[in-house]
């Protein structure tokens, strides 16, 4: 759903939720300054060596598993883009088609 929103909405949501989103790689965790339509932005000093598979958290909630690449540093901020972004699965995927719920 987040990727369907415009950049302006992403920025407004990121400002409203500042400090809640974070990226984790192994045991290292870094606060996300803002989310973009195609990735996220960190402070440049937090970014060295960050690439590959990472996890995105909203507070303590594990939200996404991602494969990210660094796109560059601009004005002291490191910009990253998703190569893959998968929502966290709470149950294994069904290997059969499930019937839609019916109204009572």
> Does residue 95 sit within a domain?
no
Q: Are 8 and 18 in contact (CB under 8 A)?
A: no
> Does residue 94 sit within a domain?
no
pLDDT at 22: 94
pLDDT at 16: 57
Please give the residue range of the domain that contains residue 75.
2-87
> Does residue 104 sit within a domain?
no
> Does residue 100 sit within a domain?
no
pLDDT at 34: 92
pLDDT at 38: 93
Q: Could you tell me which residues come within 8 angstroms of residue 35 by beta carbon, excluding any fewer than 6 positions away?
A: 2, 10, 13, 14, 21, 41
Exposure on the CB side of residue 55, measured as CA atoms within 13 A:
15
- The count of domains in the chain is 1
> Does residue 25 sit within a domain?
yes
- Distance (Å, whole) CA 55 – CA 45: 19
If we measure between CA atoms, which residue out of 43, 44, 37, 45 comes closest to residue 4? 37
How confident is the prediction along the chain (104 residues), in pLDDT tens digits per residue? 555 667 777 666 655 555 589 999 989 999 999 999 899 999 988 877 788 999 999 998 999 999 999 888 888 899 999 999 988 877 777 777 777 777 66
Q: What is the CATH number of the domain that holds 69?
A: 2.40.10.430
- Distance (Å, whole) CA 29 – CA 100: 39
> Does residue 98 sit within a domain?
no
If DSSP codes are grouped into helix, strand and coil, which group holds residue 46?
A: helix
> Does residue 68 sit within a domain?
yes
> Does residue 23 sit within a domain?
yes
């Amino acid at each position: 759903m987040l990727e369907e929103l415009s950049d302006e909405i992403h920025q407004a949501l990121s400002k409203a939720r500042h400090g809640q989103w974070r990226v984790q790689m192994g045991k290292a965790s870094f606060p996300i300054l803002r989310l973009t339509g195609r990735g996220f932005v960190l402070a440049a000093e937090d970014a060295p060596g960050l690439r590959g598979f990472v996890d995105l958290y909203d507070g303590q909630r594990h939200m996404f598993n991602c494969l990210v690449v660094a796109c560059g540093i601009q004005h002291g901020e490191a910009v990253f883009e998703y190569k893959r972004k998968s929502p966290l699965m709470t149950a294994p995927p069904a290997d059969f088609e499930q019937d839609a719920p019916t109204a009572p």
